[in-house]
Amino acid sequence: MNPYIKNSIQIIVSTLAFCSITAQAESQFSLGGGVISTSSPYAGTDNKTLVLPMITYEGERLSLRGLSLDYKLLEDDGVNWSLVLEPGDNFDTSDSDLAAIKALNDRKLSLYAGTQVSYSAGFGKITASATHDVIGHGDGAKFKTNYSYPIKLSKQLMLVPSVGVELNSSDISNYYYGVAQGESSTYAPYKLSSTVNYNAGLFLMYYINKNWNANAMFNYKQLDSDIEDSPIIDTDYSTTFMMSVNYRF
């Protein structure tokens, strides 16, 4: 699966995680489809527009949101503690138009396992997670925190702004954005330390009726300056725009 799909799914997963709480669905399954336009920071890559299915399952303890699993260990008075399994990054170098990028090694898919804690109250929702790559591609740790606040504009319309911070260990940063010794005859070796990325997003949900809802989402990620300085990166940000329709059983 190419990096555009993976990056888009990651954002959709986090969005659906919040919407599963605010939607107050009476059943556990939701099916739908979405159109996504997303950019990649790697040099020589273009924006992609994709059509993707969306499947969610909300059980008493186990939840499936896209390609992410969440097993709830504790739920008490707005506090949730869970174990999580979620996909990470990847980059197929053949997606670039530049020969120098195509000659690099692919950055393969990572899979992160770890724990997540969230707290929901009148001021919004705060989420923090700590995960580690269990496949051994990035072979490092990732720490994320996010704040979102639902604003009910009308009986049928809800707006959810959010901001977040993502800390990647040096192993992850180097694997995805660095250039290893001897990897390229064009680019000099480039090594990174740990990196910090910032996210800001808006999610809009419209309840058509009891079962159907339509959604729109925009997400902006500001990349760490060390990532921007990498010779294989040509922008300091990435964006994703999504529109979807979902049916809850």
- Span 149-196, pLDDT tens digits: 999 999 999 999 999 999 999 999 999 999 999 999 999 999 999 999
Question: pLDDT (tens digit, 0 to 9) for every residue of the chain, 249 residues total?
Answer: 554 455 555 555 545 544 444 444 445 888 999 999 989 999 999 988 889 888 888 888 999 887 789 999 999 999 999 999 999 888 999 999 999 999 999 999 899 999 999 999 999 999 999 999 999 888 899 999 999 999 999 999 999 999 999 999 999 999 999 999 999 999 999 999 999 999 999 999 999 998 999 999 999 999 999 999 999 999 999 999 999 999 988
CA quadruple 144, 168, 161, 242: dihedral sign:
negative
- Spatial distance between the Cα atoms of 26 and 113, rounded to a whole number of angstroms: 29
Structure tokens belonging to residue 46: 């273009």
Structure tokens belonging to residue 143: 């720490």
Pick from 51, 43, 42: which is nearest to 9 by CA?
51
Structure tokens belonging to residue 61: 């303890």
Per-residue pLDDT, 137:
84
Structure tokens belonging to residue 35: 């159109």
Q: 71 with 61: CB under 8 angstroms?
A: yes
CA quadruple 91, 97, 100, 103: dihedral sign:
positive
Domains of the chain and CATH, by start: 3-248 (2.40.160.40)
**Chain mean position to CA 215:** 17
Half-sphere exposure of 34 (CA within 13 A, CB side): 28
Give the bridge partners for 38, in sequence order. 48, 240
- Spatial distance between the Cα atoms of 23 and 148, rounded to a whole number of angstroms: 15
The residue behind tokens 């950019």 is 39
Which 8-state DSSP code applies to residue 11?
H
Those residues whose C-beta lies under 8 Å from the C-beta of residue 80, and which sit 6 or more positions away, are 72, 74, 116, 117, 118, 119, 120
How does the average pLDDT of the chain come out, rounded? 89
